[in-house]
Chain A
């Protein structure tokens, strides 16, 4: 599918959107996605990159089951448990940090809050309320909440935007480690190509709206250990794909 280079690995998740349109403020219909198929290989880490407003977030919302008003279907044959990191942290303001994480976790799962807080560096604020946190800390908690449920499918919408370089790097490292160990399938939306190259093993370059797949680039293994030369080469490939579309 889409010339996917993952022959042999079964697809864990597939989104088919025949048509998805928004009604804009001036009552005209804007087609966001048309004849779009995205398949995620099991335990793969796919990064979607594309211009803002091209329909990335819409695609993620459809994958999360939050947007039902489209023509098409979402296939989740193994009923993977869903974890989502939204663009905004979306913590319950009236529950403290520890409660926010505990509430998302099904009752049967072991309590791993302390471990995650330690690895992500927010142990000192576990009993604070979200209004007392900086945006950076709130993002860590939001990531911890999604990882705490040991998700089979992790959806990330620009999870590290507006973080300083050092904390973003730390969070990326924890994310890569955790999904590497658990074998979760990941779909991440970002506009930071270098970040995508650092984390993912498949890069999907999208066009302007309505989004089409311009290129599906398989990155050399292992993920997270790319040299500067590798990164440069992949960047060039991304630019080329975007240029041919324009």
Chain B
């Protein structure tokens, strides 16, 4: 309720400011909603969003799966951790832009380069988070599983993944928002379609209305993924925990 009110106040301030300013650089919310409607009907906006969403989906999945495997290995095996730790630190601190530029330079201006650039930017975060989870595993339960001869599959499903789940949820949530943002930059720099590309062209044309229309849709979509995707997963993963009273 408070949140709805807060959003309404924000839009009201915006409306008033736009009416006072009377400038091309600050369109009213109404104008933007009109533009969104137009873009959706022409099929332009759905197409551009589909391009971006596809890249987000592929890059996120690859980074998540690779990061979980590498992070678990690093958390469980000290030698692996010591060997790969410097690589992770370097990747963590390499600016996203540098990775993107080199991906395009070395691989070429294509889809592979775009995905590789996003994955390399996201991977170290997933690794670091999963590693914490793998380190925090319960040795007592591992011994129990050993004594009762749990198969590898049983260990994975009933011992490893439930303990990693909260960390995977953190990685997924922070991961999704990072991947979104980086995909836009990748599209801006070297792709002929996608939301990032549209934002780039609109910027050179000073089309503020279009920029805001795409940005707002973007935020709305992100909220949808968070509410419908990430939060239900977190609730499911935490259902065995004692309820706080």
Contacts and interface: CB of A to CB of B under 8 A. Distances in A.
Contacts of B162: 92, 94-95
Given A106-B149, A131-B242, A132-B242, A92 B143 contact: no
A84 B141 CA distance: 12
B147 A149 contact: no
A94 B159 CA distance: 9
Contacts of B158: 92, 94-95, 103
A83 B158 CA distance: 19
A88 B141 CA distance: 10
A90 B242 CA distance: 17
B150 A64 contact: no
A227 B70 CA distance: 62
Interface string B147-184: 11110001000110010000000000000000000000
Contacts of A129: 240
Interface residues of A, number: 22
Given A66-B143, A86-B144, A94 B240 contact: yes
Contacts of B231: none
A21 B158 CA distance: 34
A129 B141 CA distance: 15
A149 B162 CA distance: 24
A88 to B, nearest CB: 7
- Of A65, A95, A96, A103, the most chain B CB neighbours within 10 A belong to A103
B242 A92 contact: no
Contacts of A5: none
A92 B159 contact: yes
Given A90-B141, A92-B159, A131-B240, A103 B149 contact: no
Contacts of A83: 148
Contacts of A88: 140
Contact of A86 (B140, B240, B242): B140
Interface in A62-115: 64-66, 82-84, 86, 88, 90, 92-96, 103-104, 106
A5 to B, nearest CB: 30
A66 to B, nearest CB: 5
Interface string A44-70: 000000000000000000001110000
A155 to B, nearest CB: 8
B146 interface: yes
A103 B150 contact: yes
Interface in A180-210: none
B242 A82 contact: no
Interface string B110-150: 00000000000000000000000000000011011011111
A95 B163 CA distance: 12
Nearest to A103: B158
A92 B141 CA distance: 7
A110 B55 CA distance: 49
A150 B241 CA distance: 31
B140 A66 contact: no
Contacts of B241: 93, 131
Nearest to B241: A131
A93 B137 CA distance: 13
B147 A82 contact: yes
A216 B187 CA distance: 79
Nearest to A64: B147
Contacts of A106: 149
Contact of B154 (A64, A65, A82, A103): A103
Contacts of B143: 66, 86, 90
Interface of B: 140-141, 143-144, 146-150, 154, 158-159, 162, 240-242
9 contacts: A90-B141, A92-B141, A93-B240, A94-B158, A94-B162, A104-B148, A131-B241, A131-B242, A149-B148
Given A66-B146, A92-B141, A95-B240, 15 more contacts: A66-B143, A83-B148, A86-B144, A90-B141, A93-B240, A94-B162, A94-B240, A95-B158, A95-B162, A103-B148, A103-B158, A104-B148, A106-B149, A129-B240, A131-B240
